[in-house]
Amino acid sequence: MVIFVLGLSLNTISITIFYMDISDALSERDKVKFTVHTKSTLPNFKQNEFSVVRQHEEFIWLHDSFVENEEYAGYIIPPAPPRPDFDASREKLQKLGEGEGSMTKEEFTKMKQELEAEYLAIFKKTVAMHEVFLCRVAAHPVLRKDLNFHVFLEYNQDLSVRGKNKREKMEDFFKNVVKSADGVLVAGVKDVDDFFEHEKTFLLEYHNRVKDASAKSDRMIRSHKSKSPLSHNLHVLGKLFAIYMDLNQFFLKVSELFEKTRKIEARVAADEDLKLADLLKYYLRESQAAKDLLYRRGRALVDYENANKALDRARAKNKDVLQAETSQQVCCQKFEKISESAKQELIDFKTRRVAAFRKNLVELAELELKHAKGNLQLLQSCLGVLKGDT
């Protein structure tokens, strides 16, 4: 829930409520339909409570409409949610169904439950990422007033938004190539403001560090999941030594231990995925959005400096002076407008990310301690059994 205090005086406090969530989601093959539920007392809406069904492409349309709007050049545009991807989980479930005859009923049921849980976790994560995007927009004092955002939330018909075709994707590709080349030029310009010069250097380093940490966290999570075959292999080994009672009991007990620790490790992996990996991936995208803001400001600075040079040349030649002055004023106003909002945006971005990392890392540490204690108890119990103490 997002609550905004819009007006304060000595006698009254006016509070406007803006509550939003994705109350339901339905997966239909390659599409996911999200039910976006909104409650608001904002006067811009026709009703106080309403729900609409939206697809991923419509979220992308909303994001792109912010990026393409020149009025929002001085703001960090909340990163678009990633495209839902259930192909890997569906493929695993399909292969499991095809191989049902080659495994026991118990093994099949166990693997089916694990794959269904994995699919459900991905589904919940997809919903959460789309909800985070909407909540970031709703929390922004300027973006939440955008007409397209209100249409997205309130218009109860299909928005008729389609995915980009090959030609449009190629156009985007070439735009990104030009932007990358232009970015090198803009990055080489010394900023007139020390605050932005520092932010430019910091964000480049920060983005690279988060990218590296994200890749390493994914490897760490995979390592927690890689212990899964151990318990089964030890159980099979125990059966092979059935005639040797001591060895048989040893392998079976250790197999039981690894099966229990495997479940704990799976929970550890799930917690790390939710509290760390997802956080890093989100701030990798948001730090890129912050870099894009600095690029737009840098581009405006270069345009302003070029306009100043053009004005000097026009005055020296006493030709097209009025046109050059008008162009210089437009560039100056654009640069100053972006700079004014960009400074506060970057300060707010720092506050948000510090609070988010502090919250998630503290919660993750508490969960890791809990799981570590569980593993310790299992190991002590197993050692006691193997020693014959219990």
Q: Which amino acid is at 363?
A: E
Report CA dihedral (49, 52, 56, 60) to the nearest 10 degrees: -60
Structural domain count, the chain = 2
Whether 175 is covered by a domain: the verdict is: no
158 and 199 together in one domain: no
Last residue of a domain, one of 121, 146, 163: 163
Owning domain of residue 50:
1-163
| Pairing between β-strand 2-8 and β-strand 13-28 as defined by DSSP bridges | antiparallel
* SS3 state at 146: coil
What is the three-class DSSP state of 339? helix
Does residue 287 sit in the same domain as residue 140?
no
Distance (Å, whole) CA 271 – CA 207: 23
158 shares a domain with 224: no
- Residue 52's CATH number: 3.30.1520.10
In a shared domain, residues 218 and 331: yes
Cα–Cα distance between 47 and 156 in angstroms, integer? 12
Neighbouring CB atoms inside 10 A of 271's CB total 19
| CA–CA distance, 96 with 113 (Å, rounded to integer) | 11
Shared domain for 155 and 202, answered yes or no, is no
The structure tokens listed for 201 are 């250097």
For Cα atoms 239, 242, 243, give the angle at the middle one, nearest 5 degrees: 160
pLDDT digits (tens, 9 = 90+) for 182-221: 666 666 677 778 999 999 999 999 999 999 999 999 999 9
What are the residues whose beta carbons fall under 8 Å from the beta carbon of 5, sequence distance 6 or more?
Answer: 13, 14, 15, 16
Strand ranges in the chain using DSSP code E only, listed in sequence order: 2-8, 13-28, 31-40, 49-55
pLDDT (tens place) for every residue of the chain, 390 residues total: 554 444 444 455 556 677 888 888 887 767 788 999 988 887 778 888 889 999 999 999 999 999 999 999 999 999 999 988 777 777 777 777 777 677 777 777 777 777 777 788 888 888 899 999 999 999 899 999 999 999 999 988 877 776 666 666 666 655 666 666 566 666 667 777 899 999 999 999 999 999 999 999 999 998 887 765 666 666 666 565 655 666 667 777 777 777 788 888 888 988 999 999 999 999 999 999 999 999 999 999 999 999 999 999 999 988 888 999 999 999 999 999 999 999 999 999 999 999 999 999 999 999 999 999 998 998 888 888 777 755
Q: At what angle do helices 105-139 and 87-98 cross, to 10 degrees?
A: 170
Check: CB of residue 214 under 8 Å from CB of residue 277: yes
Residues 197 and 298 in one domain: yes
Q: Residue 76 forms beta bridges with which residues?
A: none
In a domain, 178, yes or no: no
Task: State residue 350's pLDDT score.
Answer: 96
Are 243 and 139 in the same domain? Answer: no
